[in-house]
Amino acid sequence: MLFLQRRYGSEQGPPALRDGIAKTFYNGMVAGEEVFVSDGSKCDIGRLQWIFGADTTVAVQDPSYPVYVDSSVMLGRTGHHNGSQFDGVTYMPCTAENNFFPDLSKTPRTDVMFICSPNNPTGAAATRQQLTELVAFAKKNGSVIVYDAAYALYISNPDCPKSIYEIPGAHEVAIETCSFSKYAGFTGVRLGWTVVPKALKFSDGTPVWNDWNRVMSTIFNGSSNIVQAGGLACLSGEGYKEMMDMVQFYKENATILRNAFLEMGFTVYGGTDAPYVWVGFPGKKSWDVFADILANCDIVTTPGSGFGPAGEGFVRASAFGSRENVLEAVERFKKAFGNK
């Protein structure tokens, strides 16, 4: 009855769900009142821009999820597009040469840094050492890390944290956003959350939590009461097991795709700690590869250049599909590209 009454709910989410998320996914690393329930990570990333302002400087992984750059553009924070990227944004190349993580020794100071792990689209998960260096970098420079952990449950490598708050000091420099979309198939019904630690403060000592609470209370009426009830069910013993079973299913799909591309002789990344497989086509434009695959296989992939300049020459293959469709896709790929 808590969720289904016909009235406005709490903009921050009901205490039972906030506490459940804190307990289930963070094991005491954050308090329930630091968890803000929402309609998904993508929406929260856009709303987070409100608390930073148009004069804020930003850095993004390259390649990365487009919303980090696009929401900055919409806020008027950037210059014009110069043909490959937007002026006024610091693009941090994340390629095989640097293990798909920014070279912080070559990264200038910015106010905000957008980091996604496991990364969409490369599928690379940041290691404990990489995140430790990132937190130290942010502390030194007075930067805020916006950490997108939407695929954290797909991490199998014990050396890759599922939350940035596993790193000492992260509570003082990082906001973490996450979602039920890729955990429980809530992509269409929309349910996620953002963690804003009370230890995170602006340069004048004001808690960022205060401003985020104001933003959520002003321009958001709370997620659907019905879908929040579904989220709470996911945190029950049975619900969590079902959720993990689904994650495992998609991880198996990713393994099938990864192995198929490797067998065909492609250079492949990701697919082990993430539901995405990053496939290289050296010397070819991503959109040309996309068109070839569509024409020869009737399969839609995602051109890597859509995620940033460093994505050129790659396409992203997704494990989110039925087993039947994934196996059919593999057969089509092998028929068209097996003699690469």
Q: How confident is the model over 271-315, as pLDDT tens digits? A: 999 999 999 999 999 999 999 999 999 999 999 999 999 999 999
233: tokens are 């069910």
The rounded distance, in Å, linking the Cα atoms of 57 and 305 is 23
- Per-residue pLDDT band at 43 (split at 50, 70, 90): very high
- Taking the C-alpha atoms of residue 332 and residue 328, their distance in angstroms, rounded to an integer, is 6
The pLDDT score that the predictor gives to residue 187 is 86
Spatial distance between the Cα atoms of 269 and 280, rounded to a whole number of angstroms: 8
Q: Are 70 and 81 in contact (CB under 8 A)?
A: no
Spell out where 31-111 has E strands. Answer: 35-38, 58-62, 89-93
Q: How confident is the model at residue 53 (pLDDT cuts 50, 70, 90)?
A: confident
Q: Which of 11, 132, 140, 92 is nearest to 309 (CA)?
A: 92
- The Cα 32–Cα 26 span in angstroms is 10
Q: Which sign does the torsion angle of CA 328, 332, 333, 335 carry?
A: positive
Instruction: Scan for tokens 């502390």, then name that residue.
Output: 139
Q: How far apart are CA 70 and CA 89, in angstroms?
A: 11
Mean pLDDT for all residues in the chain: 95
Higher pLDDT, 184 or 121: 121
Q: Which ranges in 27-172 belong to alpha helices (H)? A: 41-52, 67-74, 128-141
46-50, 96-100, 161-165, 252-256: the lowest-pLDDT one: 46-50
- Cα 309-314-319 angle, rounded to 5 deg: 120
The answer to whether residue 32 scores a pLDDT higher than 70 is: yes
- Report in angstroms the alpha-carbon separations of 65 from 29, 125, 214: 26, 14, 26
Q: Of the given ranges (78-82, 133-137, 159-163, 329-333), which has the lowest mean pLDDT?
A: 78-82
For 140, other C-beta atoms within 10 Å of its C-beta total 11
| pLDDT recorded at residue 340 | 58
pLDDT, position 194: 98
Statement: residue 180 has pLDDT above 70: yes
pLDDT for residue 1: 44
